[in-house]
């Protein structure tokens, strides 16, 4: 799957652009929508978050696909997230595009689930939404502004971990501007590091949609890292072994640091199960491997 950003005027004015894509329908052209009117929808550097979506209004019966972008540190076990305030500050200094939303007015997504070809893509006729990752927190944080010591204080270079606020604001904006409350179904999709974002927001999406339309079907699809193995396809002994190995490999202390630093909102299904089954297994599953098991596919 490849991603290209093409100016809207280029596609509108040059017929060759339309011809090159239209021949195989292997693309989706999405328009940028800023979340500036939502005060909590801030990227890590404090600038407004944004998303890209189809340019038509959802009507009853429409199916919607929301894709969470991968924030892209391929060398990290946790993808585009960060663990310590110093690491986060360095990321924003050395790779600032990971800490703010893209500014291009139009985004062309090509291949795979972005194709409009009904023969090869089950999502071909879906209303499509792309959400760039810009908060370094797997779309789950609620803390900020934080100063250089990680304390709640507004400074000139304060950092925000507002991923959950961004996702909440996204849903509100999709209702206001596109009528997502009229959708027949909503599918939340993520790959790479954003797969964890899907797991952490799946239950929240289901609950949010039920407040505007209880008939809307919500499903979540993960195309995750090799270590992201759903526990329900394994027996308890194998799952415990997997979980404990990853506790050592991924450092549970670091995981707890992330949870505090981001003010992370964990998966509701996991937390409910943890109250019933307060075991080491469920603790691990909730924090290292969120499952959102009621709605994940």
Average pLDDT value for residue range 1-29:
49
| Interatomic CA distance for residues 52 and 48, integer angstroms | 14
Instruction: Please give the sequence-ordered ranges of beta strands (E in DSSP) within 35-148, or none if there are none.
Output: 50-53, 63-68, 106-110, 127-131, 143-146
| Interatomic CA distance for residues 249 and 244, integer angstroms | 9
Give the pLDDT band of residue 154 (cuts 50, 70, 90): confident
Average pLDDT value for residue range 277-292:
51
Q: How many domains does the chain have?
A: 1
Q: Does 271 have pLDDT greater than 80?
A: no
Q: Please give the mean pLDDT across all residues of the chain.
A: 78
- Looking at residue 162, its pLDDT comes to 96
Q: Confirm whether 253 is domain-assigned.
A: no
Question: Exposure string (b/e) for 89-106, b if CB count within 10 Å is 16 or more?
Answer: bebbeeeeebbbbbeeeb
- Looking at residue 20, its pLDDT comes to 46
Q: Confirm whether 179 is domain-assigned.
A: yes
Q: Confirm whether 288 is domain-assigned.
A: no
Q: Confirm whether 11 is domain-assigned.
A: yes
- Looking at residue 222, its pLDDT comes to 84
Q: Does 115 have pLDDT greater than 70?
A: yes
- Looking at residue 76, its pLDDT comes to 45
Q: Confirm whether 76 is domain-assigned.
A: yes
The whole domain housing 155 covers: 2-230
Q: Does 254 have pLDDT greater than 90?
A: no
Q: Confirm whether 241 is domain-assigned.
A: no
C-alpha separations of 178 from 2, 60, 132 in Å: 26, 12, 18
Q: Which residue has the higher pLDDT, 120 or 32?
A: 32
Average pLDDT value for residue range 225-230:
50
pTM of the model: 0.79
Q: Which residue has the higher pLDDT, 85 or 8?
A: 85
Q: Confirm whether 295 is domain-assigned.
A: no
Question: Exposure string (b/e) for 212-250, b if CB count within 10 Å is 16 or more?
Answer: ebeebebebbbebeeebbbbeeeeeeebbebbeebbeeb
Average pLDDT value for residue range 134-139:
92
Q: What percent of the chain has pLDDT over 70?
A: 67
Q: Confirm whether 172 is domain-assigned.
A: yes
Q: Does 39 have pLDDT greater than 60?
A: yes
Pairing of strands 63-68, 2-4: unpaired
221 touches 189 (CB < 8 A)? yes
| Interatomic CA distance for residues 237 and 152, integer angstroms | 42
| Interatomic CA distance for residues 161 and 179, integer angstroms | 28
**Region of residue 259 (phi > 0: left; psi between -120 and 50: alpha; otherwise: beta):** alpha
Q: Does 109 have pLDDT greater than 50?
A: yes
């Amino acid at each position: 799957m490849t991603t290209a950003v093409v100016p809207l005027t280029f596609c509108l004015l040059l017929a060759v652009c339309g011809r090159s894509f239209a021949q195989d329908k292997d693309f989706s052209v999405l328009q940028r929508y800023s979340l500036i009117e939502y005060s909590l929808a801030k990227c890590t550097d404090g600038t407004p978050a944004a998303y890209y979506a189809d340019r038509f209004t959802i009507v009853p019966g429409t199916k919607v696909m929301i894709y969470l972008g991968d924030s892209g540190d391929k060398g990290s076990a946790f993808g585009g997230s960060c663990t310590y305030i110093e690491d986060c500050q360095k990321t924003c200094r050395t790779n600032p595009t990971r800490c703010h939303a893209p500014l291009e007015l139009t985004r062309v997504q090509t291949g795979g689930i972005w194709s409009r070809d009904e023969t090869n893509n089950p999502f071909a006729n879906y209303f499509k939404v792309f959400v760039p990752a810009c908060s370094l927190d797997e779309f789950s944080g609620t803390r900020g502004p934080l100063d250089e010591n990680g304390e709640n204080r507004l400074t000139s270079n304060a950092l925000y971990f507002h991923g959950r606020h961004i996702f909440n604001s996204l849903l509100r904006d999709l209702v206001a501007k596109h009528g997502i409350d009229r959708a027949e179904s909503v599918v939340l999709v993520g790959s790479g590091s954003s797969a964890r974002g899907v797991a952490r927001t799946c239950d929240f999406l289901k609950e949010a949609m039920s407040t505007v339309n209880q008939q809307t079907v919500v499903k979540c699809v993960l195309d995750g890292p090799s270590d992201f193995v759903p526990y329900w396809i394994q027996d308890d002994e194998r799952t415990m072994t997997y979980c404990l190995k990853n506790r050592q490999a991924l450092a549970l202390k670091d995981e707890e640091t992330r949870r505090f630093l981001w003010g992370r909102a964990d998966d509701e299904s996991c937390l409910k199960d943890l109250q019933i089954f307060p075991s080491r297994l469920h603790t691990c599953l909730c924090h290292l491997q969120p499952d959102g098991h009621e709605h994940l596919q």
